[in-house]
Amino acid sequence: MRPFADFGSYDAASTAEIARRAGVRPEQVVRFDGNTSPRRPASARPEALADELGRIHTYPHGGYPELVEAIAAYVGVAPDNIVLGAGADDVIMLVVRSFAGTGDRVEIANEPTYPLFRIAAGLAGADADGGSQTALTICCRPNNPTGELGELPSARPLVVDEAYFEYSGVTALDLLDEDVVLVRTFSKAFGLAGARVGYAVARRELADELNRRQAPAPVSTLSAALALAALDAPPDVAPVVEERERFSGELRALGLEPLESRANFVAVPLADGAALAEKLLLRGMPVRPYRDGIRITIRDRDDDDLLLTALGGLLGDERT
């Protein structure tokens, strides 16, 4: 394998590992670090899988036309504009390796941002910091970890990671003809992170090029069935948005200064986010540390109140 300088993998502790370190049972761990939905969607039932289970010994011959059509209708484009993948991550890696190769530069906007962009650039042989020519620019909107909407870079081609689109309602869809590629997912608002279904939206010729470079059948038929069932009733994000605002208010009451977020998480600037994150993890409530603070996923009122109580205690300890 080629050597990789400065190459960090993307990893997060398992719930079993966190439970062991916190001295609790795995069911007692409440994760505030994954930006996923707190509950499984009502559509994710065994019945949604029955037909595909009956065909599980066969390949998804001919692809996933029903799912592609349903996604296209949801986004408001034609099926030819859709590229499926095993989660947004798979789609990001596909797009990056399709546009960028050895020696190229991949420009990453809005750092700190989603760490996979840099990894995808490295895997493609490109470089996020050097390289002679910018082959691709990537921007995450709303940005992870800050939740901010930010300006779109004017560079093209441009990938806009809209993993949290449903929460913000803001999209770059009207820029498809300008070589802007959107990346979306079923992992966040749709509550299907374990199913691993994501997609790109691109102008037709570009979508065709990407599809030709994609693995033959990147999504399991069971996951495709779950995504299709979920599209019958797209999620209502209003409760999460409302809870995010309540939660941010409570954080401010604790003396913290959460950033204004348009996603299902809030970033809290802190001098030593890693230390506080470690203490919360040892209470079975992991949050995500980032360079200048912690990022907290919004769950629901009961879960979020548990975290607020723990935070209040820990900050109180620090002040005494």
Write out the residues near ligand PMP by the rule CB under 6 A: 35, 87-89, 114, 140, 144, 161, 163, 185, 187, 193, 198
Residue 163 or 225: which CB sits closer to ligand PMP?
163
Q: Which is nearer to ligand PMP, 74 or 315 (CB)?
A: 74
Which one-letter amino acid corresponds to residue 72?
A
Q: How far is the CB of 271 from ligand PMP (least distance, A)?
A: 24
Q: Report DSSP letters for 145-212, one per residue.
A: TT----PPP--SSEEEE-TTHHHH----GGGGGGTEEEEEESSSTT--GGG--EEEE--HHHHHHHHH
Provide the CB-side half-sphere exposure for 241 (13 A, CA): 13
Question: Between 140 and 267, whose beta carbon lies closer to ligand PMP?
Answer: 140
- Rounded to whole angstroms, what are the CA distances from 123 to 118, 250, 277? 9, 41, 29
The nearer residue to ligand PMP, 18 or 140, going by C-beta atoms, is 140
Q: Are 172 and 194 in contact (CB under 8 A)?
A: no
Q: How near is the Cβ of 265 to ligand PMP at its closest, in Å?
A: 9
- Residue number with CB closer to ligand PMP (89 or 107): 89
Q: Which residue is nearest to ligand PMP (CB)?
A: 87
Q: Which residues contact 294 (CB under 8 A, 6 or more apart)?
A: 267, 268, 270, 273, 276, 277, 280, 287, 288
117-141 residues labelled b (16+ CB within 10 A) or e (exposed): bbbbbbebebbbeebeeebbbbbbb
Instruction: Using the minimum distance from each CB to ligand PMP, give the nearer residue, 225 or 320.
Output: 225
Of the two residues 99 and 167, which places its CB atom closer to ligand PMP in the complex?
167
Q: In whole angstroms, what is the distance from residue 297 CA to residue 276 CA? A: 15
CB of 315 to ligand PMP, least distance (A): 27
Question: Is residue 70 classed as helix, strand or coil in its secondary structure?
Answer: helix
Amino acid identity of residue 128, one-letter, is A
Minimum Å distance from CB 142 to ligand PMP? 8
The distance of closest approach from Cβ of residue 58 to ligand PMP in the complex, given in angstroms and rounded to an integer, is 25
5 contact partners, CB below 8 Å, separation of at least 6 = none
CB 87 → ligand PMP: shortest distance, Å? 3
Minimum distance, C-beta of residue 66 to ligand PMP, in the bound complex (Å): 20
